[in-house]
Amino acid sequence: MSTLTARGRRTDVTRLLPRGLLIGIIAVLLVFVLVPVVYILLASVNSDIGVASGDFWPSAFTLTNYSKIWTTVALGRGLANSIVVAGSVAVVCAFVAVATAYVLVRFDFRGRLTFLRGLLALQSIPGTLLLLPVFVLFSSFATATGVQVVGTRWGLFITYLTFALPFSTWVMVTYLRGLPRELEEAARIDGASSWRILTRIVVPLSWPGIVVSGIFAFLLGWNDVLFASIMTTPNTRTAAVALEVFGATQEGGALPVYGQMMAAALVCAVPVVVLYLIFQRYLVGGLTAGGVK
């Protein structure tokens, strides 16, 4: 009994806010987060007239919006393009980042600190400032070589990979610093090469960091509208651009199809939610890596 009392006292001492105030703040935050989500969900099963008139609760539930979006918004092609581009960026970025971070953490060479500082400096540059330079660079490359980059999926892949790699590499640098060197030294004594140590020891132990790096890169490609709207054509549009174009075409209309817009937004959010549910057990360990030394 005394142990439980002492444990409760330690919890009360370390708690920043009183229990009642903490519950109240969490409840307010949940309301701010959940009310818009519930409204989108209800609007997606409501008629366009009901949504336009401001009805929060549908007078009649219908799933026709979910069947219409595949032809009205052309959402199927956009989702396919987003999955291909964002998925490939996530996979390539995660494993390039872990290999780069391994070299930066475990080997001493001239310029290593400069490279690490450069990774931090790249994070301070807004992506909007690089939109025009990237477009001009890709256009000049197409003019010089005859290889089209703008309007292709692989051009968008290179763009997202460029922006995602610095952050992903820094995440992996922070994570690998916490891994014990003794395992690698024992493997090297047994004759293992650096590549074998990386693939057989470092990568299996670094899954939380790899997952965080991959999810960050995936979300960058999935949510981006600015670069995707400039670097794609109607055949290579991502889901985010398809939603933007669909919303813009509804402005000024007699009766905007708000129900279909809400349904399309929910469908586009499903892959991200599923990704989080699958890898949530890795996220905490990857995000907090390096916090305690």
Render pLDDT for 33-89 as a digit per residue (tens, 0 to 9). 888 888 888 888 888 777 777 777 887 788 888 888 887 777 888 889 999 999 999
Q: How far apart are CA 63 and CA 47, in angstroms?
A: 9
What is the rounded distance in angstroms from the CA atom of residue 138 to the CA atom of residue 293? 43
Give the per-residue pLDDT at 252.
57
pLDDT tens, residue by residue, 97-131: 999 988 888 888 888 888 888 877 877 777 788 88
Identify whether the C-beta of residue 81 lies closer than 8 Å to the C-beta of residue 153: yes
Helix (H) or strand (E) holding 72: helix 64-72
**Distance separating alpha carbons of residues 34 and 27, to the nearest angstrom:** 10
pTM: 0.80
First to last CA, the chain: 34
Q: What is the pLDDT at residue 250?
A: 66
- Reported as a single tens digit per residue, the pLDDT across 143-182 is 888 888 888 888 899 999 988 888 888 888 888 888 888 8
pLDDT at 56: 79
Tell whether the model's pLDDT for residue 8 goes beyond 80.
no
CA–CA distance, 106 with 37 (Å, rounded to integer)? 45
Q: What is the pLDDT of residues 126-142, one digit of tens each?
A: 778 888 888 888 888 88
User: Of residues 218 and 287, which shows the higher confidence score?
Assistant: 218
Query: What's the pLDDT score for residue 88?
Result: 93
Average pLDDT over residues 16-27: 83
Query: What would the two tokens of residue 49 be?
Result: 């007239």
What is the rounded CA–CA span in Å between residue 157 and residue 103? 24
Backbone torsions φ then ψ of 74, nearest 5 degrees? 55, 45
- CATH 1.10.3720.10 corresponds to the domain 73-254+274-287: yes
Q: What is the pLDDT of residues 65-81, one digit of tens each?
A: 888 888 777 788 888 99
Question: In the chain, where are the structural domains located?
Answer: 17-62, 73-254+274-287
pLDDT bracket for residue 291 (50, 70, 90): very low
Asked if residues 267 and 75 have their Cβ atoms less than 8 Å apart, the reply is yes
CA pair distance 140, 154, nearest whole angstrom: 16
- Classify residue 66 by its DSSP letter: H
Q: Chain-wide mean pLDDT for the chain? A: 82
